A and B are shown apart, each in its own frame.
Chain A
Amino acid sequence: MSDGPPHVVAMRRAFDEALARCPGEVRETRYAFAGRAVHLRVVGARLAERIQRPFAHLRRDRAAVGAEPLRIDLWDEHETGVASPADAAPGALDHEWLACDGTLSASADGRYVSFTYQDSVTLLDRQGQRMIGGRRSGSHLSRGECSKPFVVMLTVWYSDLRVQILHAGLLAHDGVGVLLPGESGTGKSTTSLAGVAHGLEFLGDDFVGCERRDDGTFHGHSIFSTACLARSGLDRFGDIRAHAVEDRFPEEEKPILFLAEVFPERLRATAPIGAIVLLRVGAERTKVRPATRPEALRQLAASTLHTVVPRPGRAALEMMGALVAQVPAYRLHLGTDLRDVPGGIAEVVAQARRRGSP
């Protein structure tokens, strides 16, 4: 295919060139993202290792039959000697916006969107179902790319599939998904980690997908298996702390945990959402109280709208409204003992079941 804006043609050529130069460095893996087939190809062994890590729990060994997979093609510029095309600079497509310290661009017909950030360029062809990206070096990947690779382009891709990205944690107890909306600093990450450490299943720490099925039920999808916690918070999880990746990152930044490596059997790809939990830390003892729909919607919508890029639109807001209308919400007051977390979550699920949800 040689048609498309010059930027797009150049990106395709650059990847093909990288492939041709380093055939021995190609790593191919397959996944299911929200149940859809994905085929990842990375030129550059070190880069491949890093990019694959947060998706390890979504690996599928065989190619899925049926629908065309999303093809994600990345190359390591340093390793292959192929630079990102010069006209992949911001301004190459028709519209552009500043977002997350990077630049989001789109072609006028919306078919091609691209995100340029520091040392990476990622292009998504929404019609051709292909993502192409160059990374300056697999050895010097930015922290964001290590924990949540191509998150902005994935957000667009998921959104096209009507899977809305929410800024929330998602755990599962006894097969029932419990959504934890909230800003960083509300104790969400500590709670999630405490939950997983004591037997709950983990689907996400801060970005998860939410899909409404034809039967009207809501399902949460895991996107990344990573969790980030401030060092001080991580210190409460002695044995897990050793797994945290932090060597290359500056003092102030949070270490990354690849939970598929710490608790491989507790990572889950999908769960029906049975309850929404608003956290309140610093209580005397753990207790569960019902929360109102407006409260739940406010916390979910506010943090999602603040954090997800591109910002969720009308469809996402409607889905969030429908989600809180259907799924019961609770306030979980947590004391200082992290061992109470799984019990608290179990209590939430029990109460939700009594009200007649999944």
Chain B
Amino acid sequence: MPEHRGTFAPNRNEVAAKVIDGELIIIRLSDGTYYSMDNVGTQVWELLERGHALPAVIATLAAWYGVAADRVERDAAALVDELLAERLVVAAGAGGGGEEGARPADLLAYDAPRLNVYRDMGNLLALDPPTPGIDDLPLKGDKGR
């Protein structure tokens, strides 16, 4: 397992991500794999994005939710491992800071963050295109030009 002390940043070259209403959608652009997270998972992502090292993220979440730090540590470390394995984040070195932001007002009960993975989006899109595409009009044989 990699060292969980440093900072981890979203892998900007490969990934498009957006948070809306506490839900996070991630697309790995290289192969069109889709991911989603909500609640705690989204908060981990946002805190990492702001440059906080993982121990600081854990401490913040433990404080926000009022749960034991070692429980949060287990969950967060497992999540970061998964994010690394999927190349959604990269290790960004030590240190880092920035505002952690105020405790969000409408927190739900703590639940282990889960990364939802959807590897079949590309296949499904290929099966049923919406408007006719130029690829639906292949010109067979010599174009005569």
Contact = CB atoms under 8 A, between A and B. Distances in A.
A155 B140 CA distance: 18
A111 interface: yes
In this complex, the interface size class of chain A, counting residues with CB under 8 Å from chain B, is 20 to 34
Interface stretch (B81-89, B91-99, B125-133): B125-133
Given A129-B145, A294-B12, A294-B16, A310 B139 contact: no
B134 interface: yes
A95 B13 CA distance: 40
Residues of B contacting A: mostly: loop
Interface string A306-338: 000111111110000000000000000000000
A309 B139 contact: no
A156 interface: yes
B142 interface: yes
A128 B134 CA distance: 19
Interface in A71-112: 95, 97, 99, 104, 106, 109-111
In this complex, the interface size class of chain B, counting residues with CB under 8 Å from chain A, is 20 to 34
Given A309-B132, A310-B131, A313-B133, A128 B144 contact: yes
Contact of B134 (A159, A161, A293, A298): A159
Nearest to A314: B135
A232 interface: no
Contact of A97 (B131, B140, B142, B144): B131
Interface string B109-145: 0000000000000000000011111111111111111
Given A159-B134, A313-B133, A126 B12 contact: no
Nearest to A316: B134
Contact of B139 (A68, A99, A160, A315): A160
B132 A311 contact: yes
Contacts of B129: 311
B68 interface: no
Contacts of A313: 133-135
A259 to B, nearest CB: 28
A230 B131 CA distance: 27
Given A294-B12, A294-B29, A312 B141 contact: no
B48 to A, nearest CB: 18
A113 interface: yes
A120 B136 CA distance: 23
- Most A-side CB within 10 Å, residue of B13, B129, B131, B138: B131
Contacts of A293: 13
A292 B12 contact: yes
B145 A67 contact: yes
A122 to B, nearest CB: 14
Interface string A118-144: 000000001111000000000000000
A298 B138 contact: no
Given A68-B145, A294-B12, A110 B139 contact: yes
Contact of A311 (B12, B133, B140): B133
12 contacts: A97-B131, A109-B141, A111-B141, A113-B137, A160-B139, A293-B13, A310-B136, A311-B129, A311-B134, A313-B133, A314-B135, A315-B134
Interface of A: 67-68, 95, 97, 99, 104, 106, 109-111, 113, 126-129, 155-156, 159-161, 292-294, 298, 309-316
Interface of B: 12-13, 15-16, 29, 129-145
Q: Which 7 A-B pairs have the closest CB atoms?
A: A313-B135, A97-B132, A311-B133, A110-B139, A313-B134, A127-B144, A310-B134
